[in-house]
Amino acid sequence: MTGGPVQASLRTVVYVDGFNLYYRALKGTPYKWLDLHALFSSVLRPTNDVRRIRYFTADISGKRDPGAPIRQQAFLRAIRKDPRVSIHKGKFLVSTKWSALAEPPVSFIKPDPVTVFVVKTEEKGSDVNLASYLVRDAFKDEFDVAVVVSNDTDLVEPIRIVREDTGKPVGLICPASSPSKSLTAVASFCRHITSERLAAAQFPDVIPGTSIRKPATW
């Protein structure tokens, strides 16, 4: 007696919004030393053959935390050791500007509006880069299934275009506790990142065969 039919593996490419993943799922946790392939393979089905991971990020500033760029570069070196991972960089901008307070303290003398001088950080380019590669790869037939790791609603339209114009499924791995309704409405499926899966997908403290070491404060 034989079992059921064996399902063919599906060429799968994962597109990671690095800042969205960090701020939604990793910041404040002990799980930042993350093996991306191990995590996504555990979240997706066994039939998803994760052949490539495109990781979109930017080199961060050390203006507020001098150690932050050092920690980030250690992580980028670690994930780059996996030949399935490619890193695509936008730009990280730090500026100062006047901004209105939403709820000024009652002790303030209240001009209209109450403003303060703030430091503003912005990451530019990752969402556009991610969308561009997603559409490009779909039309070049680089995958059977695409998976977007983000909760950024700017990605609704490129996901819709790929699904409708190529017929290829585009899934969502949501790093937030509550995925955007507009994203889940266009995605072929939605998976979630749990703390248990993050814990199980950590690199060893030292990447084998290298001198790349987990940052001490992580």
Domain assignment of residue 218, yes or no: no
* 84 and 156 belong to one structural domain: yes
Domain assignment of residue 206, yes or no: no
Region label for 11, one of left (φ > 0), alpha (ψ between -120 and 50) or beta (otherwise): beta
Q: pLDDT per residue over 34-92, tens digit each?
A: 999 999 999 999 999 999 999 999 999 888 899 999 999 999 999 999 999 999 999 65
User: Looking at residue 52, which CATH number applies to its domain?
Assistant: 3.40.50.1010
Domain assignment of residue 27, yes or no: yes
Report the chain's terminal Cα–Cα distance, integer Å: 52
Beta-bridge mates of residue 123: 92
Gap between the Cα atoms of 207 and 41, Å rounded: 19
Identify the domain containing residue 15 by its residue range.
10-90+125-200
* 116 and 159 belong to one structural domain: no
* 29 and 97 belong to one structural domain: no
Query: In the sheet that 48-57 helps form, which strands lie side by side, from edge to edge?
Result: 85-89, 48-57, 10-17, 145-149, 170-174, 190-192
| Residue 119 banded pLDDT, cuts 50, 70, 90 | very low
Q: pLDDT per residue over 156-186, tens digit each?
A: 999 999 999 999 999 999 999 899 999 999 9
State the pTM of this model. 0.85
* 109 and 145 belong to one structural domain: no
